[in-house]
Chains A and B, each alone.
Chain A
Amino acid sequence: MSQKIYILCVEDEADVLDVVVRELSVLEDVFPIETAGSADEAREALARIEAEGDALGVVFCDHMMPGENGVELLVWMREHPDWNVSRKVLLTGQAGLDATVKAVNEAGLSHYIAKPWDQDELVKVAREQLSRYVAARKLNPLPYLKYLVMDIVGDTLRANSASDT
C-alpha cells in the first residue's frame, strides 16, 4: 500500500473546524483528514502521521488562535525537514498585513483563503495544492489520481509511466 497523504485542518473554533472538515471530506476516500484545535495539537497530529510513516500533503490553518498563532506554526513547519515540502494554506479572517507577509516570506505560504469561504473554492484549492505536493515530491500520482489536477501532475505522470515501461 502506498504512503497515505494527509490533509491537516487547524482551527480553534470547534464549529468552524467541523464545517471545514465536512467540506473537505469529499476528498477523504483518497486523502485522509487530521484535525487540531491548536498549534500544539497540530504538532501531536503531525507526530502521529510521522509515526505511521505517512505524509502531510497540505495544511489548512487558521491564524488567530489561543497560544501559538497559525503563522508561527507554519514557520515552524517550514523549518522542519518532514513538513518543509507540505503545502501551506492560511484559512483566516484575521491575519493582518504583517502576519501575512511573514507567512509568505518565512513560511513559504502556498495559498491564502479569506473567511467566509466557498466550499467549491476550498476543495479546488485543496486539490491544486495536493497536486503540487505530489508533483514536487515526484510521487507516482496514480493512487491519488482521482482528485489530482492534470495540468499540474501531467509531467510527473508521464515520467512515471515512462519509468514503468
Chain B
Amino acid sequence: MSDPLPTLSTADALALLVERARALGREPEHVTAGDSILNEGDTNTSLFILLEGTAQLLKRTADGRHTPVDLLGPGSLLGILSFWTGRPAFSDSVAASDLKVLRLDLRDFERGVAEDAEFARVTQQLLVANLSDRYRRVVGLNLKVAGLTKELETERNALREAVEDLQRTRNKLIHQEKLATMGQLLAGIAHEINNPSSALMKNVEQLTRELPVLFAGMPAHAGMLREGMNAPYLSSGEARDRLQLLQERYPNLSRSLCRRLSRLPEAAMEPLSAALSAKNEAELEMLLRIFEVGTALQSIRIAEARMTRLVKSLKSYSRQEERDVQSVRLDDCIRDTLTVMNHRLKLYDLQLEPADLPEVSCRPGEINQILTNLLSNACEATPEGRVITVRTGMEPDAVWVEIEDQGHGIPEDLIEAIFRPNVTTKRGAGDFGLGLGLAISRDLALKHHGRLTAKNRKEGGAVFRLTLPTV
C-alpha cells in the first residue's frame, strides 16, 4: 500500500497538466472574451480545462432566453458531462474574459491515463475537485432554495393578511357609505316633512285662533269648542267606564251617541243635558259636532307636535356629515336614537335609568350610530315584550351608557371576538348582514378616546357599555 499522494494546489496541478499534455501533443489554446466554447445541445467530444480567466455557463429557459447559471474559474472542467456520457452539451459555455484553455479529446485522455501516472494523478485530482465543488454548490443551492421558499411563504402570508385587511377596510367603508347615504336620506326626509308640517302647524294655529271668534255670539257653542280643544286624554279603560255610566244614565240613547258624549268632561255636560231633556236633537247634534271639531283640532295639534319632535330628532340624529366635535349631552343622543328607533323599541318594555350627566365632546352622529347598533342588537336578542334597559352613569372623568338586554347573552369565548369584523352570533342576517356593527362601533368609540365593552349578566342577557371621556 502506498501513501496517498499529497494534493497539489490548483496552480501547480494546472502547470503540471500543461506540461504532461505537451507530451500528448496538446498546447493551451486562447479564447477571446465573448467567444463560445460549447453550445447547449451540441455533440461534444472534448474536455476543456480552464487554465486562466473566467467562463460563464448559461442555460436556455423554456421561453428561449439564456440564463446565467454559473461562473467558473481556473481549474474548472468544461464539457465534463457531454464528454463522458456522449449526450448533447448540458449548457452553453462562453468566455467571460479572455481565456486560456487546454482541450483534450477522448483519445488523448485515455492515452495519458494509461501511459502517464502523473497525468492520471493530476486529472483525477482536478475531476474530484470539480465534482466535489459542484456537489457542494448543489447542497448550497438547496439550502438557498429552502431559505427562499420560507421567505416566499412569509411574504405570501403577509400578502394574504394584507388582502384580508383590505377587504375588511373595504367592507367597513361600504358600511360607512351606506350609513352616510342613509343619514343624507334621513336628513332629506326630515327636511321634506318639515315644510308641510310647518304649514300644518300654522293653519291649525289659525283655526285655533279664528274659530272661537266665529262663535263669539254663541257662548254655549264657543264653550263646547273650548272643551273640545282641551278635552282630557282618556285611557281606553276610562273611556269604557264613562261609556257604561252614560249608557246607564241615558238608557234611551244609542251606544254610538253615548260614546260621543263620553269624551266630554262631566263639567261640560250641562249645555248638553239641557238639550237632552228638551229632546232637542238638532241642538244636541250641533253642540256635539262643535265639541268634536275642538277635539279634532286638539288631535291635529298633538300629532303635529309629534311630527315636529320626530323631524327634530331625525335631523339631529342624521348629522353624520358633521365632522366637527361638539359639546352635547349624552341624553340628547339617546333621546334622538330612541325616537328614530321607536317603531322597533315599542315592542319591548323599555326601561330608562338616566343619571344627571355633564356634557361630553363628541361627534353626535357617530355616537348615535353606536347607540343605534347596540339597541338594534338588543332588540334582536330580546324576545318581544321583555325588558331592554338603557342606563347612564358617571365615573371619574368619564360618562357611560349601558344597553342591557334579556337575550341569551354572549358565549364566554366570543366576548372579545364579537368586536372583530365578520364575527356574529346572530343566526339570520340582522343589520346589513356584514357582522360589522360592533367592530365599527368599537372603532368609533376608540376614535372618541372611549371604550366599548361587553359582559354577560348573571340573570342572563348581555350588557354593552359605551364609556366616553369628559376631559
Contacts and interface: CB of A to CB of B under 8 A. Distances in A.
Interface in B379-404: 384-385
Interface in B95-145: none
State the main secondary structure of chain A at its contact with B: loop
Contacts of A54: none
A46 B240 CA distance: 13
Contacts of B259: 21, 25, 28, 33
Contacts of A28: 254-256, 259
B61 interface: no
B303 to A, nearest CB: 7
Contacts of B346: 12, 64-66
Interface in B343-362: 343, 346-347, 349
B255 A37 contact: no
A97 interface: no
A110 to B, nearest CB: 24
B233 interface: yes
Contact of A14 (B236, B256, B260, B385): B236
A69 B384 contact: yes
Given A14-B236, A15-B302, A68 B385 contact: yes
A35 B234 CA distance: 13
Contacts of B349: 66
Interface residues of A, number: 22
Contacts, number: 46
A94 B63 CA distance: 68
Nearest to A39: B385
A25 B236 contact: no
Interface string B248-273: 00000011100110000000000000
B299 A18 contact: yes
Interface residues of B, number: 21
Contact of B347 (A18, A25, A37, A69): A69
Nearest to A94: B343
Nearest to A45: B240
A144 to B, nearest CB: 15
7 smallest beta-carbon distances between A and B, as pairs: A28-B256, A37-B236, A25-B256, A32-B255, A15-B299, A66-B346, A67-B385
17 contacts: A12-B346, A14-B235, A15-B303, A25-B256, A28-B254, A28-B259, A29-B254, A32-B255, A33-B255, A33-B256, A37-B236, A41-B236, A64-B343, A64-B347, A65-B346, A67-B385, A69-B347
Interface of B: 233-237, 239-240, 254-256, 259-260, 299, 302-303, 343, 346-347, 349, 384-385
